[in-house]
């Protein structure tokens, strides 16, 4: 028996509000299953469980705001399926034996929590040998004790995890209103707490688009680059030079991040948006950036992204893509300190070398945190991004 607790979905997260339970008592859960939707400062996030078992009891109620680490549910140990089924098909006389009263089970849990983890000597030894934290496991042994096979299964699952396809979690069932509420809460906090300043810069985007067209001509449809990939990479490279736009505002001061993890705002079909990160985008080649971007977009569209993907961004890009609007003034996603907006490239009359010429232009905007930087720095940062987009072949 173990407690499923409010996870930390980012270093700044202190509490989360339970928006929806996706599992109910009696449901079987496996590691990686999405069991609940929690509203945090970063949006309504599906939270995964990392142990298997059966949901015995839901502790947290929908609407409750609970600190990180609070127990949300009790997960009871699962049985090997053959045994569980056999127990089910036991003669009626046995099956009708009164189950131990739930009160006793609760008392037992409390007592167990006080005494420490109930785990067999064999399980403890195996866990110690492999540095497995027993806290993370669910027991299947007598009285929910963690037994040898539980540790063994955990080790197998851990060994399998990196290879498992991202689409194995069940499709999202999302409460739209809750999502909207979460976005609202985060944005309200950002507007309330962060002294935003805004800059705007419009520049020729022809070169980048021409280069993309030439590059894509040689690529299959599944590998073609989109302008968004250029923007991610250009922003990431600029962040290396301008460290005061990449990091977190925490505990009253700015912490620059060595890694540049570019959150990319992606709207969810039907409403809402998320900004999962492309980790260390500054170190990725363009095709790799494109691959990550495509993967994220696909998964967000089918609702198969994880809470863990939403925690890593150090700076965010919000791109309107082809929606036909020239510019946007984004709101910083706390605890980040900057967000770059990109409008739709627009063809317009442009003066080049003293002559009016047709040109495709892009408007980039920057919203940045005045506690960390000022407009002068911001302007140089924005100009640096634009400059990088003038030399797409170097991205």
Contact pick of 11, 90, 104, 273 for another protein (by CB under 8 A): 90
Q: Nearest approach, Cβ of 2 to another protein (angstroms)?
A: 14
Segment interacting with another protein (CB under 8 A) among 82-90, 184-192, 198-206, 343-351: 82-90
Sequence-ordered list of residues with C-beta below 8 angstroms from that of 64, at least 6 positions apart, any chain: 17, 18
Which among 46, 48, 52 has a CA at the least distance from the CA of 30?
A: 52
Q: Nearest approach, Cβ of 80 to another protein (angstroms)?
A: 7
Contact pick of 68, 113, 122, 136 for another protein (by CB under 8 A): 122
Sequence-ordered list of residues with C-beta below 8 angstroms from that of 329, at least 6 positions apart, any chain: 198, 341, 365, 367
Segment interacting with another protein (CB under 8 A) among 37-45, 86-94, 156-164, 314-322: 86-94
Work out whether 86 is an interface residue with another protein (CB under 8 A). yes
Alpha-carbon distances, residue 236 vs 117, 124, 316 (angstroms): 45, 45, 10
Q: Nearest approach, Cβ of 87 to another protein (angstroms)?
A: 6
Total interface residues for another protein by CB under 8 A: 25
Q: Nearest approach, Cβ of 86 to another protein (angstroms)?
A: 4
Contact track, another protein, 141-180, x by CB under 8 A: xxxxx-xxx-------------------------------
Q: Nearest approach, Cβ of 56 to another protein (angstroms)?
A: 12
Sequence-ordered list of residues with C-beta below 8 angstroms from that of 59, at least 6 positions apart, any chain: 3, 71, 72, 73, 74
Work out whether 121 is an interface residue with another protein (CB under 8 A). yes
β-strand 253-256 against 28-29: which pairing, if any? unpaired
- Do 264 and 310 meet the contact criterion of CB atoms below 8 Å apart? no
Which residues here bind another protein, judged by CB under 8 A? Answer: 77, 79-80, 82-87, 90, 120-125, 140-145, 147-149
């Amino acid at each position: 028996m173990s407690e499923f607790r409010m996870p930390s979905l980012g270093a700044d997260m202190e509490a989360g509000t339970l928006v929806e339970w996706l599992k109910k008592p009696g449901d079987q859960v496996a590691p990686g299953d999405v069991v609940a939707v929690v509203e945090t400062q970063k949006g309504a996030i599906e939270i995964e469980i990392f142990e298997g078992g059966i949901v015995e009891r839901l502790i947290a109620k929908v609407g409750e705001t609970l600190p990180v680490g609070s127990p949300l549910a009790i997960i009871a140990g699962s049985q090997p399926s053959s045994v569980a089924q056999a127990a089910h098909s036991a003669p009626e006389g046995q099956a009708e034996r009164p189950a131990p009263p739930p009160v006793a089970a609760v008392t037992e849990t409390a007592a167990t929590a006080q005494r420490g983890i109930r785990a067999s000597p064999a399980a403890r030894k195996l866990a110690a040998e492999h540095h497995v934290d027993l806290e993370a496991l669910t027991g299947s042994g007598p009285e929910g004790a963690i037994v040898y096979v539980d540790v063994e299964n955990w080790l197998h699952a851990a060994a399998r995890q990196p290879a498992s396809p991202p689409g194995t979690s069940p499709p999202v069932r999302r409460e739209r209103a809750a999502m909207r509420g979460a976005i609202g809460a985060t944005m309200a906090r950002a507007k309330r707490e962060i002294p935003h300043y805004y800059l705007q810069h419009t520049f020729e985007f022809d070169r980048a688009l021409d280069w993309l067209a030439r590059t894509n001509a040689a690529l299959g449809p599944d590998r073609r680059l989109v302008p968004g990939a250029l923007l991610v990479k250009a922003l990431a490279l600029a962040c290396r030079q301008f460290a005061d736009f990449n990091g977190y505002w925490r505990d009253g001061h700015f912490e620059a991040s060595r890694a540049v993890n570019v959150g990319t705002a992606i709207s969810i079909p039907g409403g809402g948006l998320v900004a999962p990160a492309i980790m260390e985008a500054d170190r990725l080649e363009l095709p790799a950036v494109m691959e990550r971007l495509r993967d994220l977009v696909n998964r967000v569209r089918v609702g198969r992204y994880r809470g863990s993907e939403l925690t890593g961004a150090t700076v965010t890009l919000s791109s309107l893509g082809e929606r036909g609007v020239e510019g946007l003034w984004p709101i910083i996603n706390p605890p980040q300190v900057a967000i770059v907006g990109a409008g739709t490239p627009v063809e317009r009359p442009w003066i080049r070398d003293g002559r009016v010429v047709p040109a495709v232009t892009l408007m980039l905007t920057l919203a940045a945190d005045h506690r960390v930087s000022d407009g002068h720095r911001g302007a140089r940062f924005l100009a640096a991004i634009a400059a990088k987009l003038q030399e797409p072949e170097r991205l």
